[in-house]
Structure 1
Amino acid sequence: MTYVNVITGFLGSGKTTTLRHLLSQKPAHENWAILVNEFGEVGIDGALLADQGAVLKEIPGGCMCCVNGLPMQIGLNMLLKQKPDRLLIEPTGLGHPKQILSLLTSDTYQPWLTLQATLCVLDARQLAETRYTENENFRDQLAAADVIIANKQDTYQPADQQRLAEWEAAAAAGRPVVAVQQGEVPLTWLARPRENQRELPDGAHHHAAAAAPRGLAALSLPGNQRWRRALNQGQGYTSCGWIFDDETVFDTIPLLEWVRLAPVERVKGVLRIPEGTLQVNRQGQDLHIETQAGAPADSRIEVINPGETDWNALQRDLLKIRLVTSA
Structure 2
Amino acid sequence: MTKTNLITGFLGSGKTTSILHLLANKPADEKWAVLVNEFGEVGIDGALLADSGALLKEIPGGCMCCVNGLPMQVGLNTLLRQGKPDRLLIEPTGLGHPKQILDILTAAVYEPWIDLRATLCVLDPRQLLDEKVVLNENFRDQLAAADIIIANKGDRATAESEQALERWWQQYGGARQQVNATQGNIDIALLDQPRSNLAELPTSAAHSHAHPEKKGLAALSLPEHQRWRRSLNSGQGYQSCGWIFDADTTFDTVGILEWARLAPVQRVKAVMRIPEGLVRINRQGADLHIETQSVAPPDSRIELINDADADWNALQTTLLKLRLA
TM-score by length of 2: 0.95
Report the Cα offset of residue 202 of structure 1.
1.1
Do the aligned partners of 2:8 and 2:121 also contact (CA within 8 Å) in 1? yes
Aligned: 1:15 with 2:48: no
Give the match for residue 193 of structure 1.
Answer: 194
CA distance in 2, matches of 1:232, 1:160: 31
1:194-209 counterparts in 2 under 5 A?
Answer: 194-204=195-205, 206-209=207-210
- Would the aligned equivalents of 1:238 and 1:306 in 2 still touch at CA under 8 Å? yes
- Partner residue of 1:40? 40
Whether contact under 8 Å (1:270, 1:278) holds in the other structure is yes
Matched, 1:146 2:147: yes
- Which residue in the other structure is 1:4 paired with? 4
When residues 68 and 34 of structure 1 are mapped into structure 2, their CA distance, relative to the original with a 3 A threshold, is same
SS in 1 for 2:269: strand
| Alignment match, 2:167 | 166
Read off the aligned partner of 2:66 and give its amino acid letter.
C
Supply the distance in 1 between the matched residues of 2:112 and 2:142 (Cα, whole angstroms). Answer: 26
Tell me which residue corresponds to 1:300.
301
1:167-204: CA deviations, max 9, x gaps? 11110111111111100010000000000000001112
Would the aligned equivalents of 1:117 and 1:190 in 2 still touch at CA under 8 Å? yes
- For residue 144 of structure 1, report the CA deviation from its aligned partner: 0.2
Match of 2:265 in 1: 264
Unaligned runs of 5+ in 1: 214-221
Tell me which residue corresponds to 2:57: 57
Corresponding position of 2:220? none
- How far apart are the structure 2 equivalents of 1:235 and 1:26? 35
Q: Separation in 1 of the partners of 2:178 and 2:58?
A: 29
Alignment of 1:68-147 (within 5 A): 68-81=68-81, 82-147=83-148
Write the distance in 2 (CA, Å) between the matches of 1:313 and 1:270. Answer: 21
- CA offset digits 1:21-53 (Å, max 9, x no partner): 000111000000000000001110000001101
Contact 2:3 / 2:114 at 8 angstroms: preserved in 1? yes
Q: TM-score, normalised by structure 1?
A: 0.95
Q: Which whole-Å CA distance do the structure 2 matches of 1:148 and 1:200 have between them? A: 17
Deviations 1:43-89 (A, max 9, x none): 10000001101000000010012360211000000000121100000
Letter aligned with residue 170 of structure 1: Q
Aligned amino acid, residue 48 of structure 2: L
| Structure 2 unaligned regions, length at least 5 | 215-222
Letter in 2 for 1:30: E
8 Å contact kept, 1:39–1:208: no
Distance across 1 between alignment mates of 2:180 and 2:166:
11
- Whether the 8 Å CA contact 1:4–1:87 is kept in 2: the answer is yes
Q: Residue 219 of structure 1 aligns with which residue?
A: none
Residue 141 of structure 1 and its aligned partner are, at CA, apart by: 0.1
CA distance in 1, matches of 2:289, 2:84: 35
Residue 307 of structure 1 deviates from its aligned partner by 1.7
- The aligned residue for residue 256 of structure 2 is 255
Q: Distance in 1 between matches of 2:79 and 2:272?
A: 28
Question: Which deviations, in whole Å up to 9, do the C-alpha atoms of 1:177-234 show, x marking residues without a partner?
Answer: 1111100010000000000000001112624223589xxxxxxxx9633100000010
Q: CA RMSD in A?
A: 1.5
Q: CA–CA distance in 2 between the matches of 1:288 and 1:238?
A: 22
Cα distance change, pair 223–55 in 1 and its aligned pair in 2 (3 A): closer
Kept in 2: contact 1:212–1:231 (CA 8 A) = no
Partner of residue 243, structure 1: 244
